[in-house]
Amino acid sequence: MKQYVILVFTSSHAIGIEQKLKKMGVPCKLCAIPRNLSSDCGICVRFDETNLETVEALVKTLSFDIQEIIATNY
């Protein structure tokens, strides 16, 4: 299944998103940022395609900006 990652500007935001998704029962994982993607904060949140809409909806409600959500084969 297609995988996505949420890239953020700081790892606190990645953890914040992960904890919110977990509370909502959406499977996700904090993981190291794939090397081909540029971001400095070290970690991103990975989830699969079935949850894309839920994640996009959640991102709209956050108090901070994320960098982007991108598909990855990693």
Partner 1 sequence: MTIVYMDNAATTWPKPPEVLAAMTRTMEEAGGNAGRGGHRLAVAAGEILYQVRDTVAVFFGCSDPFRVTFTANATESINLILKGYLKPGDHVLVSPLEHNAVMRPLQFLAQQNIQWSVLPSAKDGRIDTTLIEPMIRQNTRLFVICHESNVNGVIQPIHEISKIAHSFHIPLLADCSQSAGSVPIDIDSDGIDFLVFTGHKSLFGPVGTGGIVWGSQANIEQITPLKQGGTGSVSDRYDQPDFLPDKFESGTLNIVGLSGLKAGIDWINRNQMNQLSSEKDVLLQKFLDEIRAIKRVQVFCAEKKENQGGVFSLIIERLDNGFAAQWLDEEKGILSRVGLHCAPLAHRFLHTFPAGTIRFAVSPFTTCEDVEICIDAIKMLAEKKETAHFL
**Contact set with partner 1 (CB under 8 A):** 9-13, 15-16, 19, 30-33, 40-43, 63-65
Residues in contact with 19: Cβ distance below 8 Å, sequence separation at least 6, in sequence order: none
CB of 8 to partner 1, least distance (A): 9
By beta-carbon proximity to partner 1, the closer residue of 25 and 53 is 25
Residues in contact with 26: Cβ distance below 8 Å, sequence separation at least 6, in sequence order: 47, 51, 54, 55
Q: How far apart are CA 54 and CA 11, in angstroms?
A: 21
CB of 13 to partner 1, least distance (A): 8
By beta-carbon proximity to partner 1, the closer residue of 29 and 50 is 29
